[in-house]
Structure formats: C-alpha cells, structure tokens
C-alpha cells in the first residue's frame, strides 16, 4: 500500500433544498444550494491520527461520508489507498470502518448479535468470533454481563464502546471516527480517548478523527486540519498550528487558532450553525 491512505482532489459537495423566503407565499419555494465542501484538497499518509476540527456544519461529516462511500461528491476525486471511492467502492469498503457520533445498532439485539452481524458482513473467518468479541469488549472495559443484553439497556458510553469494538473486529486499515466522544460523560470520554491512544500505539491503522473538542484533538492527533464552511483553514500538528496561527499568544490553544483564523469563537460558530 504505497498510495496515501486518503487523497482528495478538488472535492465539492452541495446539498440542494427548497426553501421559502421570508414573506413569500407557502407554495413559492426556491432551490438553494448549501455548500458542504468547497474545492477540498487533502492528502493523508498511512499511519497516525489526523484530526478534522471544526464546528457543526463545517463539512467534517460530509468528508467522512464521502470517504465511507456513502455520499458521492459533485466534483473532484477521492481515493483511499489508491482506490476511487466512487468507481471502486467494494475495494475501498474492504479497508475501512467507521465509528459515528450515534452508536448505530439494532437496539433490541444484543452486542453479541450486532457484532456477529458485522463480522459476517466483513466476511472473515467465523470460527472463534465469539472469543474475539469477548476479548475486544473486555479490553474496552465492557462488562461481560452486558454482552447478551439488548443494546437499548446499555448506557450511551457502553454503546459507543460496542461501536468501537465493531470497528476493531473488522481490522480496518483506515478508521473513520466521526465525533466518537460527543455526548459521552467525562469518564466514558476519557476511556474512549485512552483506547484511541492504545490503538495508535499498537496497530498499523490510519485514523481520521472528526471532532469539535479542541482538547481532544490536541491530545490525540499528530496532525490537525481546521475546517470551517467546507474549507480547510489550517493544516499542521497541534503545536505548529498554535505557533503559526495564534498571533504569538503564550500558552495558545487550538481554540485561539480557530478564533484567529475565523474571527469568531468556536462555541459561537457552533451556535450559529445549529441555529
């Protein structure tokens, strides 16, 4: 695998929706394009954790979905280890997995039933799957009493651990993590972060971590891309970004970098996008 883990060239993605302008009659709606990604160029070499940092609506999830073969770009080309995400989706899918903000599972089914389903879809050797599942879940600190309970009875943190176990089970070369710690209590969040650090140390896996948690990005990522409005504003290691874009402020954080680059605070940008 000499090709970069991820390569994106001039990727554009917009979503069309019909909107009614203020004061216009209910039946008069106009098509409007909401730009999610604008002429994005990106290369990520294999290995390490790359953070995509940005407020809601900055294009992080769209980027992850395009790489996950779940969205097609309007223009441009994206490849994973040299395979095109649009024309060679099956080859791409064999090498990736994803952990999203929502721990998406069949909630009535148990962690074991959900993980068995995932293992079957990825077509690996089924013999010994149960012991592999137990091993991974134990390592993630999930109680074995929970393995055959319906997912709906597990806490949000426990569900997210099962989601991470699902991605580990298929041994991906590229792991797409879309806000995996959002909404978790501080303890679960810390556990997930420790897991990511262990993963980085142990396995030859490239991790793309989307987050809007500045401290998480600073602690876990080798490289950070700061995004806003579908564009990459800055790219570098957390240390470099603080040095180059925080206007010489001593003890600068990634929050300061974002403010300096956009002229707005991160929290304000989040609120604006949510509104």
Smallest CA-to-CA distance from 58 within 235, 259, 229, 226 is with 229
Q: How many CB atoms lie within 10 A of CB 223?
A: 18
Q: Is residue 57 near another protein by the rule CB under 8 A?
A: no
The answer for residues whose C-beta is within 8 angstroms of residue 180's C-beta and 6 or more apart is 99, 100, 101, 160, 163, 164, 192, 196, 209
Smallest CA-to-CA distance from 230 within 5, 68, 54, 3 is with 54
From the list 10, 15, 87, 267, which residue makes contact with another protein (rule: CB under 8 A)?
15
Site for another protein in 67-106 (CB under 8 A): 68-72, 90, 93-94, 96-98, 100, 102, 104-106
- CB of residue 251 vs another protein: minimum separation in angstroms? 39
Q: Is residue 120 near another protein by the rule CB under 8 A?
A: yes
Listed ranges 41-49, 117-125, 210-218, 254-262: which one lies at the site for another protein (CB under 8 A): 117-125
Q: Which is nearer to another protein, 58 or 100 (CB)?
A: 100
Cβ–Cβ < 8 Å for 54, 228? yes
Smallest CA-to-CA distance from 8 within 80, 107, 90, 109 is with 80
Cβ–Cβ < 8 Å for 77, 88? no
Q: Is 76 left (phi over 0), alpha (psi -120 to 50) or beta?
A: left
- CB of residue 50 vs another protein: minimum separation in angstroms? 19
Listed ranges 19-27, 113-121, 211-219, 228-236: which one lies at the site for another protein (CB under 8 A): 113-121
Q: Which is nearer to another protein, 39 or 74 (CB)?
A: 74
Q: Is residue 60 near another protein by the rule CB under 8 A?
A: no
Q: Is residue 271 near another protein by the rule CB under 8 A?
A: no
Q: How many CB atoms lie within 10 A of CB 126?
A: 10
From the list 23, 123, 186, 248, which residue makes contact with another protein (rule: CB under 8 A)?
123
Residues that bind another protein (CB under 8 A): 15-16, 62, 65, 68-72, 90, 93-94, 96-98, 100, 102, 104-109, 113, 116-123, 126, 150, 166
């Amino acid at each position: 695998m000499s090709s970069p883990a991820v390569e994106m060239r001039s990727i554009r993605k917009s979503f069309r929706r019909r909107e009614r302008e203020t004061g216009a009659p209910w039946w008069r709606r106009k098509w409007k394009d909401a730009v999610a990604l604008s002429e994005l160029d990106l290369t990520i070499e294999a290995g390490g954790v790359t953070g995509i940092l940005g407020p809601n609506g900055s294009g992080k999830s769209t980027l992850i979905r395009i790489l996950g073969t779940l969205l097609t770009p309007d223009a441009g080309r994206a490849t994973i280890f040299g395979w095109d995400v649009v024309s060679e989706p099956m080859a791409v899918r064999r090498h990736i997995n994803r952990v999203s903000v929502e721990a998406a599972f069949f909630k009535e089914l148990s962690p074991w039933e959900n993980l068995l389903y995932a293992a079957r879809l990825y077509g690996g050797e089924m013999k010994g799957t149960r012991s592999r599942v137990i091993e991974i879940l134990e390592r993630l600190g999930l109680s074995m009493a929970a393995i055959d309970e319906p997912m709906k009875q597990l806490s949000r943190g426990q569900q997210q651990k099962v989601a991470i176990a699902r991605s580990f089970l298929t041994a991906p070369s590229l792991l797409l993590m879309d806000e995996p710690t959002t909404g978790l209590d501080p303890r679960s969040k810390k556990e997930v972060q420790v897991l990511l650090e262990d993963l980085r140390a142990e396995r030859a896996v490239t991790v793309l971590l989307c987050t809007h948690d500045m401290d998480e990005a600073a602690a876990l990522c080798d490289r950070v891309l700061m995004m806003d409005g579908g564009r990459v504003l800055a790219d570098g290691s957390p240390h470099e970004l603080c040095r180059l874009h925080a206007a010489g402020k001593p003890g600068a954080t990634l929050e300061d970098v974002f403010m300096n680059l956009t002229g707005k605070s991160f929290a304000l940008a989040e609120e604006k996008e949510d509104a």
